[in-house]
């Protein structure tokens, strides 16, 4: 599932590059009762057609656009969630439409901007005031846009009784941290994902914060291009629940379930 770096790099930045300042002249949005949540394809198309995309925003794994409005008119504005396979595509010709296209916007410069989603776990909503409405209002701070202070991190993490991996996955704690980021952070921090947060020392909490911010910043710096990730990262070796999986330096990778998610960790390193 796309996590903060993927949504930032494959979503917000792509939308900003192609859509910001452009006016939507036509909307292609076939009816889909799964993709559109709390609205319909017809209402979505009517809300976007003729509007200018003024800005493209993101918090955690959620992304929304600010659309132009007339006078004191309130929203709505589109909120996008990529789910597992959602992604934006920009192209010029209908023959270049991607497979599994769910929405296509024709912009005033001739660009076609599409949202594709093979597995249909993505969601599109229309919200009048996205930041003050669910799901955005229920999210914790975004580690890239609003990195929490050390004092905040110690206070919030230190009082949790759940396993540290489960807390890192809680979007109400930090917005945008998903499974691979949580595993990577705890591997680089040398922390066992099963440990309760109340068992962590101040130094360990400080390390988790430092590594979390570093991993996310690095992944975004590398445009979420996995081939650019350091070969020492757990990321390259954690997939597939392979019983023979090892780190770059030959240490065995174990797999267990923490917080309801498959967790890759290295017992020889994480204590």
Q: What is the pLDDT of residues 79-105, one digit of tens each?
A: 999 999 999 999 999 999 999 999 999
The whole-number average pLDDT for the span 231-256 is 92
> Taking all residues of the chain, what is their mean pLDDT, rounded to a whole number?
96
The band of 243, judged by pLDDT with boundaries at 50, 70 and 90, is: confident
Q: 4-138 in CATH: which number? A: 3.20.190.10
Residue 245 has pLDDT above 80, yes or no: yes
The band of 65, judged by pLDDT with boundaries at 50, 70 and 90, is: very high
The band of 111, judged by pLDDT with boundaries at 50, 70 and 90, is: very high
The whole-number average pLDDT for the span 136-164 is 96
Q: What is the pLDDT of residues 7-54, one digit of tens each?
A: 999 999 999 999 999 999 999 999 999 999 999 999 999 999 999 999
What's 134's DSSP letter?
A: T
2 is catalytic: yes
Catalytic residue among 3, 6, 8, 204: 3
Phi then psi for residue 255, to 5 deg, are: -130, 130
The band of 70, judged by pLDDT with boundaries at 50, 70 and 90, is: confident
Q: Return the domain boundaries, the chain.
A: 4-138, 150-265
The whole-number average pLDDT for the span 162-191 is 98
Query: Is residue 191 a contact partner of residue 161, using CB atoms and an 8 Å limit?
Result: no
Residue 1 has pLDDT above 80, yes or no: no
Query: Among residues 13, 104, 121, 100, which one has the least CA distance to residue 63?
Result: 13
Residue 169: per-residue pLDDT = 98
Query: Among residues 158, 184, 89, 81, which one has the least CA distance to residue 126?
Result: 81
The top-level CATH class assigned to 150-265 is mainly alpha
The whole-number average pLDDT for the span 170-178 is 97
Q: Does residue 125 sit in helix, strand or coil?
A: strand
Catalytic residue among 2, 76, 148, 163: 2
Catalytic residue among 51, 59, 61, 102: 61
Residue 75: per-residue pLDDT = 81
Query: Is residue 215 a contact partner of residue 38, using CB atoms and an 8 Å limit?
Result: no
3 is catalytic: yes
Give start and end residues of each alpha helix (H) in 171-255: 179-189, 202-221
Name the residue with higher pLDDT: 71 or 138.
Answer: 138
């Amino acid at each position: 599932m796309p996590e903060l770096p993927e949504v930032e790099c494959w979503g917000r930045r792509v939308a900003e590059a192609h859509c910001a300042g452009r006016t939507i002249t036509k909307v292609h949005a076939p009816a889909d009762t799964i993709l559109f949540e709390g609205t319909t394809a017809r209402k979505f198309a009517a809300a976007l057609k003729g509007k200018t995309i003024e800005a493209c925003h993101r918090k955690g794994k959620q992304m929304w656009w600010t659309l132009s409005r007339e006078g004191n008119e309130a929203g709505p504005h589109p909120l996008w969630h990529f789910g597992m396979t959602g992604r934006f595509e920009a192209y010029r010709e209908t023959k270049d439409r991607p497979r599994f296209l769910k929405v296509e916007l024709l912009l005033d410069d001739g660009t076609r901007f599409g949202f594709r989603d093979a597995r249909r776990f993505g969601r599109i909503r229309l919200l009048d005031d996205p930041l003050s409405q669910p799901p955005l209002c229920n999210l914790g701070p975004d580690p890239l846009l609003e990195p929490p202070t050390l004092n905040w991190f110690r206070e919030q993490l230190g009082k949790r009784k759940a396993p540290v991996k489960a807390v890192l996955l809680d979007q109400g704690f930090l917005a945008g941290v998903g499974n691979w980021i949580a595993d990577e952070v705890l591997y680089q921090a040398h922390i066992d994902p099963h440990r309760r947060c109340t068992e962590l020392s101040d130094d360990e909490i400080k390390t988790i914060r430092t590594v979390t911010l570093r991993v996310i910043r690095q992944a975004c710096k590398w445009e979420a291009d996995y081939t650019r990730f350091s070969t020492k990262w757990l990321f390259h070796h954690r997939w597939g629940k392979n019983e023979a999986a090892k780190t770059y330096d030959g240490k065995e990778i174990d797999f267990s379930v923490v917080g309801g998610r498959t967790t890759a960790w290295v017992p020889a390193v994480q204590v």
